[in-house]
A and B are shown apart, each in its own frame.
Chain A
Amino acid sequence: MKPALNLTIILALLANTAFAAQEKAVRESNELYERPLDELVYIETQAKADVGSREGARDALDAAVPIDVITAEQLESSGYTELGKVLSKLVPGFNFPRPSITDGTDHAPPFTLRGLNPDQVLVLVNGKRQHQSSLLNMNGTIGRGSSGVDLNTIPLRSIERIEVLRDGAAAQYGSDAIAGIINIILKGHDRKSSLTGSYGSTFKGDGRMRQGDTFLSVALPDDGYLNLTAEARDRGPTNRAGADDRDGYRINTHFGDADTQDYLLAVNAAVPRGDTIYYLHGTFDRRLSSAGAFYRLKDDERNIQSIYPNGFLPRIEPKIMDLSLSTGAKGVLGNGTTWDLSYTLGYNEFKFYVNNSLNRSLGLTTPTSFYSGATSYLQQVINLDLAKKLGNHSVAGGLEYRLERYRISSGDEASYVLGSFHDWAAGAQGFGGFMPENRVTAKRDSFAAYLDAKYALFPWMHIDGAVRYEQYSDFGSTIDGKLALRVRPTEDLLLRASGSTGFRAPSLTQANFTSTAMVRNGSEIDRWGYFNVNHPVARALGATDLKPEKSLHFTSGIVYQPRSNFSISADYFITWIDDRIMPTGYIASWNLSGLSPQAAAILSSNNIDGAVYFTNAISTRTNGFDLRLNYTLTFDSSSRLKLTGAYNRSEAKITKVNAAPSVLGVDMTSLVLDPNTRVTIENGQPVDSFKLWTKYESRLFDAVLNLNRFGSYSSTSGYDKVDFSALWTVDLEFTWHLMKNMNITIGGENILDAMPDTWGQTSDSVIGAGKIIQYSQYSPIGYNGAYYYARLGFTF
């Protein structure tokens, strides 16, 4: 057959399909036309998303890139009130383990997307970059060596929806958008005010949660609004530590959720004046938290028995403050160009306090409470966006200036000093303080210029392109691009594909974190710990300026939506990341066999016992796929059944190890990839996850049933890999609408009390089945078991 004939047949088929689709659209519209008005207004329309485009909100299922939209209804139909926990039940590939005995990380657990790191996902609030925490996760947790955004600082009741962009988007939004973007949209115009109180507890009787919030919406002229949310949350600790056979089988350790009190505020306001809207939004969280370190037995060398005759559990009790504020103006010019000029401030501060502790080296003069210093991170962003539609095409661009500052302040002298009563047990037990030599004030700024364009080849075929240039004051410039193709061959079917490059700028915390401690070496005092890459010791040991992580992404997928109330989608993705930034292992002769004599001499001559610094170490590949299903069945004008099913599979593989600094005389695998680190990167997070969210709603009551599968994951005991099997959980919630404006809810999370696998038999004295720590802190559901709750809500 001739090529021209082939083409003609294909085109004829497409044209026929197109006309058939149009007929179907009209037929369905005619069906709508026949329905009563009250039924028409009850119809739930499609989810909209802003993220991934500068054109404004558009149909999430019609986008060129995969986007999930989590609605306020879904967010609020959970017993959990912390955003991280709630999203772990709704977003497949969103991992929110609950680490314990991990210093600061207990108090602000990081989350990850698609098995990558916490700092490889960009978080936006109303489209504006949210700042990261000043906490660098340094213990053996998921996300070790990274700083993420603390999602639990945002009150749940202030959120209208959450958009999860499942694609790299650094070419549009800049650094960090590697695993994807989480865009949190705060409630805006025309929202009812509400008052909510909830109470919950685990099946085992701990983890008592008392929570109350109010959302107050005040209408302003011209559909402006002032929305205020205030929340107080008191979450009691949970404890799944086992008995300590070294201490008369007493449970002396705390292994579970920290005891936290959060006081949260959110504001979202818009004041229209003609074609300009002045806006302000922000969040504030003050968190007081308390968790334990490892227990010091009474005869532990680090204890002073006259102070703690039975031993002691140091309490790490940080006071955390988190603030974000965006203000600006946006509008439309006479020629239809939209503009948005904004200023965004983000600030996070951790002040570390340690109580019920001591500094062994100070003898009986030791205090038992310490201030161990603080970390803070400040981010300021000025942004200008412009966008214009040109028929079916559009073009957008913008400029951005960002200023960052990271600071470490030292603690009380007693929190870090090495006194004369001990050779190595310096500082506060549990969390030694930052020393004066650890004090850091690091700044950098960056400038970005970007351009997005959508070109409609046909009404049913778009090509999106984006390019972004960034200049950072510390490491130089990057330029990234993105191309996406969206084809709708028929009304029911959407084909999409995208390719992009991306990057993640080394965080100021990674480049500047310094935390050292003292140890006596004969008559000398040696230092050991983390040195920033600019420290002379780190430089002498081969540290270099950190380079950005570079990424390459491909995504392709298909959406089938035969009716407005039913859709399924499948998307494949692959992400390569080069030069991932990691902390080295402990560089010391006794720890690294093969360490060069030259490196050993550098350590010795600088009175350093051992050193750790950050370096661009490895390349990885993460690939997998996502499946989604949405179905809504409307029975009449007051009842319907909604169902959302989602599956994600993500597999990570280390593909390359960079060369180690020659001065060390060891290869990079020996330097950074101990068995635990390798397993954590490749297998530490669930390989897959499945979520089924269902809700039946009616005038009288609502019922929500969730089914979750958290895939298998691994960790290490010593040098041995330990596998933990997948687990299923079921959540159930009933809400009775007692009156038009009042409802009462009872429910349970993980109602069947599923627990993760225990460690099994190990040679470790503390970690293992039947021992103090029986569960892996990598467990994606934590280890609290079932949680039951009640909630009373009013709207007004």
Chain B
Amino acid sequence: MRLLCITLLLVLATVQHLHASDLERRLEAVFLGRFASFIELPDNSRDRFVITLIDDNPFGGMLDQIYKDKTIHNKPIVVRTVTRVREIGKTDILFITLSTTAARQEAIEYAHRNGIVTISEARGFAERGGIIQLNFVGQKTQIRINYAAAQRSGIKIGAPLLSIATVLRGEEP
């Protein structure tokens, strides 16, 4: 009985309640996959679609739960978390929660070299070369896409996604 009690306590201690009102987090989790479906990556050779989170994982187990039965570009989805840029390896989407500009910049540059779509909530992310900046302002979703940076990375972004975003075209036509 004592063992059962301890087991249940441990289970409860690890359960993350993503409450109903945390809609921002749910939308963010959904957007990761939905964005990907409108994006064509330069390296399409892997047999799995990989979403990597660097630094914190604000979603808990939600991404695994949402994406376990789904596919993106007909590929099963893998969600992984890393803490350092050198651990990123091969991935399709990199969700960046790194807290300092320098660390984010390092991640952006790595992604740029490897044709990876970067997504972050950080202010100024798109202006600094990130591909997609996702914010919630006044209880509304705001998407900012650095189209020029995407093109430089060989990433193609579909019109439906561009149509709902503020697009930074930089020096691109």
- What residues of chain A have their CB less than 8 Å away from a CB belonging to chain B? 4-5, 7-8, 11-12, 14-15, 18-19, 21-22, 25-26, 28-30, 32-33, 37-38, 40-41, 43-48, 59, 61-62, 71-72, 160-161, 188-191, 221-224, 272, 274-275, 332, 334, 336, 458-460, 488, 490-492, 494, 561-564, 567
> A274 touching B164 by the CB < 8 A rule?
no
Q: Is the CB of B124 within 8 A of A46?
A: no
- Closest CB of chain B to A659's CB: distance in Å? 50
Which chain A positions have C-beta within 8 A of B18?
Answer: 22, 25, 491
Other-chain contact of B4, A8, A45, A222, A491 (Cβ < 8 Å)? A8
Please give the distance in Å from B155's CB to the nearest CB on chain A: 18
> How distant is the Cα of A492 from the Cα of B20 in the complex, in angstroms?
6
| Structural contact, B19 and A8, CB atoms closer than 8 A | no
A29-B140 contact in complex given A8-B4, A22-B15, C-beta closer than 8 Å: no
Please provide the chain B residues from 50 to 68 with a CB less than 8 Å away from any CB of chain A in the complex: 60-62, 65-66
Known: A33-B33, A33-B34, A275-B100. A41 touches B141 (CB 8 A): yes
Bound-state CA distance A332–B98 (Å) is: 11
Instruction: Give Cα A47–Cα B12 distance, bound, in whole angstroms.
Output: 28
Q: Which chain A residues lie closer than 8 Å to B143 at the CB level? A: 41
Instruction: Show the binding face of B for A, using Cβ within 8 Å.
Output: 1-2, 4-5, 8-9, 11-24, 26-27, 29-31, 33-34, 38, 60-62, 65-66, 70, 99-102, 123-124, 127-128, 135-143, 160-161, 163-164
Whether A18 and B12, one on each chain, are in contact in the complex, defined by CB atoms closer than 8 angstroms, is yes
With the chains together, A490 CA to B17 CA distance in Å? 7
> Residue A46 contacts which of B22, B29, B30, B38 (CB distance < 8 angstroms)?
B22
Given contacts A19-B15, A28-B26, A33-B33, contact A221 B99 (CB under 8 A): no
Q: Which chain B positions have C-beta within 8 A of A11?
A: 5, 8-9, 12
Do A567 and B21 touch (CB < 8 A)?
yes
Given contacts A25-B26, A488-B19, contact A458 B138 (CB under 8 A): no
- Other-chain contact of A222, B1, B13, B62, B128 (Cβ < 8 Å): B128
Contacts of A460 in B (CB 8 A): 12, 15-17
15 contacts between A and B (CB under 8 A): A15-B11, A22-B61, A25-B65, A28-B20, A37-B34, A38-B164, A40-B31, A44-B140, A46-B139, A62-B21, A274-B101, A336-B99, A491-B20, A492-B19, A567-B21
Residues of A within 8 A of B26 (CB): 25, 28-29, 32, 564
Write the chain B residue with the least CB distance to A57. B136
Question: Cα distance A59–B26 when bound, in Å?
Answer: 13
Q: How far is the CA of A492 from the CA of B160 in the complex (A)?
A: 34
Which residues on A sit within 8 Å (CB–CB) of B4?
8
The CA-CA distance from A334 to B9 in the complex, in Å, is 35
Known: A8-B5, A32-B26. A43 touches B141 (CB 8 A): yes
Residue of B nearest to A221 (CB): B127
Cα distance A221–B60 when bound, in Å? Answer: 33
A494→B4 CA distance, assembly (Å): 26
Candidate in A8, A26, A44, A562 with the most chain B CB atoms within 10 angstroms: A26
How far is B29's CA from A12's CA once the two chains are assembled, in angstroms?
Answer: 29
**Most chain A CB atoms below 10 A, which of B17, B61, B141, B163:** B17
- Bound CA–CA A37/B163 (angstroms): 10
| A33 in contact with B15 given A44-B139, A46-B23, A222-B127 (CB within 8 Å) | no
In the complex, A591 Cα to B62 Cα: how many Å? 73
Contacts of A274 in B (CB 8 A): 101-102
Closest Cβ–Cβ distance, residue B162 to chain A (whole Å): 11
A33 touches B8 (CB 8 A): no
B26 — nearest CB in chain A belongs to which residue? A29
Residues of B within 8 A of A332 (CB): 99-100
Q: Given A37-B161, A40-B141, A45-B23 in contact, is the A14-B123 Cβ separation under 8 Å?
A: no
Q: Could you tell me the distance in whole angstroms from the C-beta of B148 to the nearest C-beta in chain A?
A: 16
Nearest-neighbour CB distance to chain A for B164, whole angstroms, equals 5
Query: What residues of A have a CB within 8 angstroms of the CB of B163 in the complex?
Result: 38
Residues of B within 8 A of A40 (CB): 27, 30-31, 34, 141
Cβ contacts under 8 Å, A160 to chain B: 138
Please pick, from A22, A29, A221, the residue contacting B29 in the complex, using a CB distance under 8 A.
A29
Identify B13's interface contact among A190, A459, A488, A491, CB under 8 A.
A459
CB closest residue in chain B, given A26: B65
Q: Which residues of the partner chain B approach A22 to less than 8 Å between Cβ atoms? A: 15-18, 61, 65
B124 partner residues in chain A, CB cutoff 8 A: 221-224, 272
How far does the alpha carbon of A780 sit from the alpha carbon of B21 in the complex, in Å? 34
**Interchain CB contact under 8 A, A561 and B2:** no
In the complex, what residues of B have CB within 8 A of residue A5's CB? 1
> 3 shortest A-B CB distances, which residue pairs?
A222-B124, A11-B8, A223-B123
Provide the residues of chain A in CB contact with B12, threshold 8 Å. Answer: 11, 14-15, 18, 458, 460
Q: Which of B13, B17, B30 contacts A32 (CB 8 A)?
A: B30
The answer on a CB contact under 8 Å between A29 and B62 is yes
Distance in angstroms between the alpha carbons of A44 and B140 in the assembled complex: 5
Bound: A7/B7 CA distance, A = 12
Chain B proximity of A240: nearest CB distance (Å): 39
- Closest Cβ–Cβ distance, residue A37 to chain B (whole Å): 5
Give the residue name and chain of the A residue nearest to B11 (CB): A15
Given A4-B2, A47-B139, 18 additional A-B pairs, CB 8 A: A4-B1, A11-B12, A18-B17, A22-B16, A25-B18, A29-B29, A32-B27, A40-B34, A45-B141, A161-B138, A332-B100, A459-B14, A459-B17, A459-B60, A460-B16, A491-B19, A562-B20, A564-B26
For residue A14, which residue of chain B has the nearest CB? B12
Inside 8 A of A21's CB, which chain B residues have their CB? 17
> Which residues of chain B are near A564, meaning CB under 8 Å?
20-21, 23, 26
In the assembled complex, how far is the CB of residue A69 from the closest CB belonging to chain B, in whole angstroms? 9
Cross-chain contact B100 with A41 (CB below 8 angstroms): no
Given contacts A223-B123, A459-B14, contact A61 B21 (CB under 8 A): yes
Closest to A12 in B: B8
On whether the beta carbons of A43 and B66 are closer than 8 Å, the reply is no
